[in-house]
Amino acid sequence: MVLYFKYLSILFKSQLQYRASFWLLTFGQFFIPFSVFAGMYLMFERFGELRGWTFYEAALVFAVIHLAFSLSECFARGFDMFSGLIASGGFDRLLVRPRSTALQVLGSQFEFTRFGRLLQSAIVLVWALAKLPIDWNAPRAVTLALMVACGVLIFTGIYMLFATLCFWTVQGLEIGNIFTDGGREMAQYPLDIYKKWVTVFFTFVIPFGCVNYLPLLYVLGRAHGHPAGYMAMPLAGVLFLLPCLAVWLIGVRHYRSTGS
């Protein structure tokens, strides 16, 4: 973990070498989700509510998933950009260093310009929370934090899965974006507005619903049943990451036996 922060600091220094492009990208990243959010706002403006969800509730759903996404793009960028590491042969270098490959790949790249996106999502979060009549207590706050943290794990898991594919294809596959970008777009609305199979897919296969929609029911006081069940929901993110890590290790073993 200490080493992870050392990687973080050296790459932060690197990125600051190019100040102008750093600020421009950060600025741009601030406005990308902003336009998406503006669309959401206008829609609610027109229709008032969506299947019983008010604008601020939906904004909270939006904020949570975008926070998780921007954090994962910033801190798990190494897996997202892994194809470059394979193509350049940089992965061989990681293998001759006495640390785990997953840690080194995580540490190989960070994308700090995602702070722009992060900031935008954080503002939406604060705004939504301020407007919502939530009965705050410690468990609810913890649940909210867990939702974001475990959301990061899910995105990281997806990056990892598609990074693993690079061991077979060498080139990066845009197909991963279907699940990261697509998942993000879907999960920025409360999941129960979709058809049943979509809800099922994003609950049991890629558990975005578990870090977003389901525990939010509890935070918003809409849940029926025991709160502990809802609070523990985000941990599905951990469960999702574990098999991804296992697949990654299989990929590394394949690489080391084929050298391609």
Partner 1 sequence: MISLQGISKSFKVARRAAGLRQAAKSLIFREHTVVEALKDITFSIGEGEIVGYIGPNGAGKSTSIKVMSGILVPDRGSCTIKGYTPWKERTAYVGHIGVVFGQRSQLWWDVPVIDSFQLLKDIYRIPPDEYRRNLALLTETLDLGGLLETPVRQLSLGQRMRCEIAASLLHGPSVLFLDEPTIGLDAVSKLAVRDFIRTINREKGVTVILTTHDMSDIEALADRILLIGKGTLLYDGTLQQLRGRFGTERTVTVDYRGGSGQGPLVVEGAESVSWSPERAVFRVDTGKTRIADVLSRLSEQAELLDVAIEAKPVEELIVELYREHRI
Q: Residue 51 or residue 99: which is nearer to partner 1 going by CB?
A: 99
Three-state DSSP class for 132? coil
The verdict on 17 binding partner 1 (CB under 8 A) reads yes
Beta bridge mates, 184: none
Query: 3-class SS at 21?
Result: helix
- Does residue 1 bind partner 1 (CB under 8 A)? no
Nearer to partner 1, 2 or 20 (CB): 2
How far is residue 16's CA from residue 109's CA, in Å, rounded to a whole number? 14
Instruction: Return the closest-CA partner of residue 54 out of 189, 199, 151.
Output: 189
Give the residue from 92, 89, 109 showing the smallest Cα distance to 101.
92
Binders of partner 1 among residues 42 to 71 (CB under 8 A) are none
Least CB distance to partner 1 at residue 116 (A): 21
Cα dihedral 123, 124, 129, 130 sign:
positive
CB of 156 to partner 1, least distance (A): 21
Q: How far is the CB of 73 from partner 1 (least distance, A)?
A: 20
CA distance from start to end of the chain: 30
Q: Tell whether residue 169 is a contact of partner 1 (CB under 8 A).
A: no
Scanning 8-16, 52-60, 151-159, 230-238 for contacts with partner 1 by CB under 8 A, the matching segment is 8-16
CB-nearer residue toward partner 1: 27 or 168: 168
87-116 per-residue burial string, b: 16 or more CB within 10 A, e: under 16: eeeebeebeeeeeebbbbbbbbbbbbbbbb
* Contact characters 104-123, partner 1, x per CB under 8 A: x-------------------
Query: Do the Cβ atoms of 47 and 115 come closer than 8 Å?
Result: no
Give least dist CB 139 to partner 1, A.
Answer: 38
Residue 236 CB neighbour total at 10 angstroms = 22
Q: How far is CA 240 from CA 91, 132, 259, in A?
A: 25, 31, 28
- Cβ closer to partner 1: 35 or 260? 260
3-state DSSP assignment of residue 212:
coil
Q: How many chain residues bind partner 1 (CB under 8 A)?
A: 29
Min CB(129)–partner 1 separation in Å: 39
Which residue number, 64 or 163, has a Cβ lying nearer to partner 1? 163
Site pattern 75..104 for partner 1 (x: CB under 8 A): -------------xxx-xx-xxxxxx---x
Least distance in angstroms from the C-beta of 17 to partner 1: 5
Residue 11 C-beta: closest distance to partner 1, Å: 8
Return residues touching partner 1 (CB under 8 A).
Answer: 2-3, 6-7, 10-11, 13-15, 17-18, 88-90, 92-93, 95-100, 104, 253, 256-260
